[in-house]
Amino acid sequence: MAKLNFGGTEENVVTRDEFPLSKAQEVLKDEVVAVIGYGVQGPGQALNQKDNGINVIVGQRKGTKTWDKAVSDGFVPGETLFEIEEALQRGTVICYLLSDAAQIALWPTVKKHLTPGKALYFSHGFGITFNEQTGIVPPADVDVFLVAPKGSGTSLRRMFLQGRGLNSSYAIFQDATGKAFERVISLGIAVGSGYLFETNFKKEVYSDLTGERGTLMGCIQGIFAAQYEVLRSNGHTPSEAFNETVEELTQSLMPLVAENGMDWMYANCSTTAQRGALDWWKKFRDATKPVFEDLYKSVATGFESQRSIDSNSQPDYREKLDAELKELRESELWQAGKTVRSLRPENQVVEA
């Protein structure tokens, strides 16, 4: 366990140096890791574990698209792919990777198979933290922990195949066996985490629900739309407005931030831009901070989790989400983006 200084605060971090894959394989050698749910995190985590030599099986409903996807990904019906209850019965570690809403409905079935000494693994603190809404209360004689990749399951798999890793948080809710730490860290390494930082179930879900509604997904779409609309209402063309709002950020500036921080990105822009950005960033912070404070309150009071449960438990939840995503996709902003993306040299179709 390394202690690293994060801007003046020391935190515990587990890296692959001190917990290599060989150690994870040794710890998990007698485990059967059952991945329940094959949506976004399920495939990424199951395939990375499979490639890392872990005895991983998938539990899915037969006759579904996700069952077929698991087969096309190489999981073999009756050997490494089973109906959900059989996977639950065979698994010694149950990776509960249904959607957070769907975990509620299946919980009574899962609980039946949580026999003493097994482990219940999550990738989000949602079900346990909001247990008054979800009803998810594990028996006392099983380990309960989480590994939460800080990114999409799609990226987790892509980065694994590139020999990279996506960092994850980990938390232990219940250590019935005395082995919860080595189990959770081994699983974190096995699913492809670059390094693991410590949290707890409540802090993970509060920060994650805030982040995805904030800078990572909700707020960023909001500021993209705001700037694009102001540019367009002042006569700028769609391509100019989109390039200045999104394309330059994703193609040039954000990779510089990822490489070496915000000051590095600023320093690689003009002094005109640096002066302006340094003058304006606090105005944007002050304008948006009240919204973030409201957002965090909405998370902490359980409003956001209940909203997610209510909408994502509806039979037509997927259709409703897809309809709103279609509206976003068909907006002028993202239609302009589609054309801009097609112009990238790497997307040009070279005539034979």
Ligand X SMILES: NC(=O)C1=CN([C@@H]2O[C@H](COP(=O)(O)OP(=O)(O)OC[C@H]3O[C@@H](n4cnc5c(N)ncnc54)[C@H](O)[C@@H]3O)[C@@H](O)[C@H]2O)C=CC1
Indicate the annotated binding residues for substrate: 270
Return the DSSP state at 247.
Answer: I
Per the structure block, which two tokens stand in for 304?
A: 């956001």
Considering the rule CB under 6 A, would residue 41 count as an interface residue with ligand X? Answer: yes
Determine the Cα–Cα distance for residues 208 and 204; give it in Å rounded to an integer: 6
Site size toward Mg ion (CB under 5 A) is: 2
Known binding-site positions for Mg(2+): 208, 212, 244, 248
Binding residues: 208, 212, 244, 248, 270
Give min distance, CB of 212 to ligand X2X, in A: 4
DSSP string across 94-110: EEE-S-HHHHHHHHHHH
Residue type, 108: P
Beta bridge partners of 34: 57, 94
- Residue 344's CB is within 10 A of a number of other CB atoms, namely 10
Among 49, 55, 80, 99, binds ligand X (CB under 6 A): 99
31 binds Mg ion (CB under 5 A): no
Q: Which of the listed partners (ligand X2X, ligand X, Mg ion, none) does 157 bind, with a CB threshold of 5 to 8 Å by partner kind?
A: none
Active-site residue among 50, 118, 124, 232?
Answer: 124
Do residues 223 and 246 lie in contact, with contact meaning Cβ atoms separated by under 8 Å? no
Q: 125 in helix, strand or coil?
A: coil
Does the active-site annotation cover 113?
no
Q: Minimum CB separation from ligand X2X for residue 7, in Å?
A: 22
Separation CA 314–CA 317 (nearest Å): 5
- Amino acid, single-letter form, for residue 32: V
- Kindly state the smallest distance separating residue 147's Cβ from ligand X2X, in Å: 12
What does the binding site for ligand X look like in residue numbers (CB under 6 A)? 37-42, 66, 97-102, 123-124, 126, 148-149, 152-153, 313, 317
Active site residues per annotation: 124
Residues binding Mg ion (CB under 5 A) = 208, 212
Contacting residues toward ligand X2X, per CB under 6 A: 150-152, 208, 212, 216
